[in-house]
C-alpha cells in the first residue's frame, strides 16, 4: 500500500518532478521532509477519502500523527478499513 | 490632476503584434526560476504570466507595495469548481484556494517574501483607473515606488457577455512600476467629464498597453460620465 499511497500523493498534489522512489516511507511529509503544506493536507485528505473511503476527522483524530509519514498514513488507512 | 513617473513596464499579450522588448507577445509564460519548486505547481497560466511581467519590472531583491487589478481574476477556476459541484463531486481545496480574487497576490507575496502592503481590486465598469488611484494614494502616503499589476484572461463561453463590452479574446497582463519622481516617462492622470463607452477593465487594459507602445500622447478611457485621461508629458 505504501507505493500506491506515494503515487496518490504525487498525483493529487501535482508533484511532477517527484517519483515514488524519491519518497521515503518514514520521512516527514510536511515541512522539513517532502515539504507539503496545509493546503496539501486538505487535498490529500480528500484524495484518501475518494480512493479508500476513509475519512480522517480533523476534530477527533490525531491528524499530526496520522499525516506524519507515508507509513503512519498507510497504517491508519488499513486499520480504518478494518 | 496627478503627475507621476512611469519608471518601467512589462506586458504579456499573446495577441498583439508590436515589436518592443518590454512586450512579450508569443508562447506560454514560463515559471520564473526564483519561485520555489513547491510553489511553482500552484501557478496557473495566468499567475505565470503575472510573475513573468512583474519580475523584470522590479529590481531584483527589492520588495515594493503592490496594487493588483483584475475584473475577473481566476474565473475559469471558479467555473470548473461549479461544474464539479454540479456533477456531485467534492471540490479540490487547492483549486478553491487558487480561485479567490487575491490568490495570485498571495502566491506572489509568498514567492518573493513580500510583506509590503498589497491591494487587489476588482473593477468592472470603472476600468483601469481605480488601480492608478490606489497606487497614487500609496505614493502620496510615502511609498517611494509602487508596483501595479493589471491582468485579465478571456471569459469562458459559458458566461453571457452581450451587451457588455468586457472581454478580450486573449490574456492581457501588464506590470508598471511608478513613482512620484525619478527617471522614466512623466505621465499625468486627470479626470474629465466626457461621456464615453470604452469598455470595462479587460478592454481598457488592452487599450492602455497599446498606448504604451504607440506614439499617441494621450489616452482617454471611461464609461458613461466617468472618464480619465493619461497624458505623456
What is the biggest distance separating any 2 CA atoms in chain A, rounded to whole angstroms? 34
Residue B15 backbone dihedrals phi, psi, to 5 degrees: -140, -5
- Which has the closest alpha carbon to A70: A17, A10, A58? A10
Nearest-by-Cβ selection for A16 from B41, B90, B94: B41
Query: Does B127 reside within a domain?
Result: yes
Mean pLDDT across B38-62: 89
Residue A36 backbone dihedrals phi, psi, to 5 degrees: -75, 160
Top residue of B94, B98, B99, B106 to mutate, by most chain A CBs within 10 Å, is: B94
As a whole number of angstroms, the distance between CA B154 and CA B76 comes to: 9
pLDDT-derived band at A60 (thresholds 50, 70, 90) equals confident
Q: Which domain holds residue B14?
A: 2-185
As a whole number of angstroms, the distance between CA B10 and CA B29 comes to: 13
**Residue B106 has which C-alpha cell?**
498571495
As a whole number of angstroms, the distance between CA B149 and CA B54 comes to: 7
**Residue B21 has which C-alpha cell?**
522588448
Whichever domain contains A41, its CATH number is: 1.10.1200
Query: Does A66 reside within a domain?
Result: yes
Instruction: Share the mean pLDDT of chain B.
Output: 92
Query: Does B191 reside within a domain?
Result: no
- Which has the closest alpha carbon to B108: B170, B172, B16, B46? B46
Determine which of A43-57, B32-46, B76-90, B112-126 has the lowest per-residue pLDDT on average: B32-46
CB contact under 8 A, A35 and B94: no
Residue B188 backbone dihedrals phi, psi, to 5 degrees: -125, 140
Contact B4, B178 (CB under 8 A): yes
CB contact under 8 A, B41 and A13: yes
- 3-state SS assignment for residue B68: strand
CB burial class (10 A; 0-12, 13-18, 19+) of residue B26?
exposed
Residue A39 backbone dihedrals phi, psi, to 5 degrees: -65, -35
Nearest-by-Cβ selection for A46 from B38, B93, B97: B93
Instruction: Share the mean pLDDT of chain A.
Output: 89
Query: Does B69 reside within a domain?
Result: yes
| Res B185: pLDDT | 96
- 3-state SS assignment for residue A67: coil
Query: Does B10 reside within a domain?
Result: yes
Determine which of A33-37, B9-13, B62-66 has the lowest per-residue pLDDT on average: A33-37
Q: State how far residue B98 is from chain A, nearest Cα, in angstroms.
A: 10
CB contact under 8 A, B90 and A14: no
- Overall domain count for chain B: 1
**Residue B139 has which C-alpha cell?**
505614493
| Res B31: pLDDT | 79
Query: Does A59 reside within a domain?
Result: yes
As a whole number of angstroms, the distance between CA B146 and CA B131 comes to: 11
Enumerate chain A positions whose Cβ falls within 8 A of a Cβ in B. Answer: 13-17, 35-37, 39-40, 42-43, 46, 49-50
| Per-position b or e across A52-67, b if 16+ CB within 10 A of its CB | bebebeeeeeeeeebb
- Overall domain count for chain A: 1
Nearest-by-Cβ selection for A42 from B38, B41, B93: B93
Mean pLDDT across B10-24: 88
Percent of chain B with pLDDT over 70: 99
What is the biggest distance separating any 2 CA atoms in chain B, rounded to whole angstroms? 57
B27 pLDDT higher than 70:
no
The distance from CA B9 to its chain's CA centroid, rounded to whole angstroms, is 11
Q: Which domain holds residue A5?
A: 1-12+28-81
| Res B28: pLDDT | 67
Strand B226-232 relative to strand B172-179, pairing: unpaired
Q: State how far residue A78 is from chain B, nearest Cα, in angstroms.
A: 23
**Residue B136 has which C-alpha cell?**
497614487
pLDDT-derived band at A56 (thresholds 50, 70, 90) equals confident
Query: Does A18 reside within a domain?
Result: no
Query: Does B219 reside within a domain?
Result: no
Better-predicted residue by pLDDT, B186 or A34: B186
Residue B208 backbone dihedrals phi, psi, to 5 degrees: -70, -40
Query: Does B64 reside within a domain?
Result: yes
Better-predicted residue by pLDDT, B229 or A16: B229
Whichever domain contains B162, its CATH number is: 3.40.47.10
B129 pLDDT higher than 90:
yes
Amino acid at each position: 500500500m505504501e507505493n500506491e499511497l506515494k503515487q496518490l500523493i504525487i498525483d493529487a498534489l501535482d508533484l511532477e518532478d517527484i517519483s515514488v522512489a524519491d519518497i521515503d516511507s518514514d520521512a516527514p511529509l510536511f515541512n522539513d521532509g517532502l515539504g507539503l503544506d496545509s493546503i496539501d493536507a486538505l487535498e490529500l485528505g480528500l484524495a484518501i477519502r475518494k480512493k479508500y473511503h476513509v475519512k480522517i476527522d480533523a476534530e477527533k483524530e490525531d491528524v499530526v500523527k496520522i499525516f506524519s509519514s507515508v507509513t503512519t498514513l498507510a497504517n491508519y488507512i488499513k486499520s480504518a478499513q478494518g | 490632476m496627478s503627475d507621476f513617473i512611469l519608471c518601467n513596464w512589462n506586458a504579456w499579450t499573446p495577441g498583439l503584434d508590436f515589436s518592443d522588448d518590454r512586450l512579450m507577445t508569443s508562447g506560454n509564460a514560463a515559471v520564473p526560476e526564483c519561485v520555489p519548486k513547491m510553489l511553482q505547481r500552484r501557478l496557473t497560466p495566468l499567475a505565470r504570466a503575472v510573475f513573468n511581467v512583474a519580475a523584470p519590472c522590479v529590481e531584483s531583491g527589492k520588495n515594493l507595495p503592490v496594487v493588483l487589478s483584475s475584473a475577473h481574476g481566476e474565473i475559469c477556476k471558479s467555473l470548473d469548481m461549479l461544474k464539479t459541484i454540479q456533477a456531485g463531486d467534492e471540490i479540490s481545496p487547492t483549486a478553491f484556494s487558487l480561485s479567490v480574487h487575491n490568490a495570485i497576490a498571495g502566491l506572489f507575496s509568498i514567492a518573493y517574501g513580500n510583506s509590503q502592503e498589497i491591494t487587489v481590486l476588482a473593477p468592472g465598469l470603472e476600468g483601469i483607473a481605480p488601480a492608478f488611484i490606489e497606487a497614487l494614494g500609496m505614493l502620496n502616503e510615502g511609498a517611494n515606488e509602487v508596483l501595479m499589476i493589471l491582468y485579465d484572461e478571456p471569459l469562458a463561453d459559458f458566461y453571457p457577455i452581450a451587451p457588455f463590452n468586457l472581454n478580450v479574446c486573449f490574456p492581457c497582463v501588464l506590470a508598471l512600476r511608478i513613482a512620484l519622481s525619478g527617471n522614466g516617462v512623466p505621465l499625468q492622470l486627470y479626470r474629465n467629464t466626457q461621456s464615453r463607452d470604452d469598455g470595462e477593465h479587460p478592454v481598457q487594459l488592452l487599450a492602455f498597453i497599446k498606448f504604451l507602445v504607440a506614439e499617441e500622447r494621450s489616452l482617454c478611457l471611461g464609461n458613461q460620465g466617468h472618464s480619465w485621461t493619461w497624458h505623456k508629458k
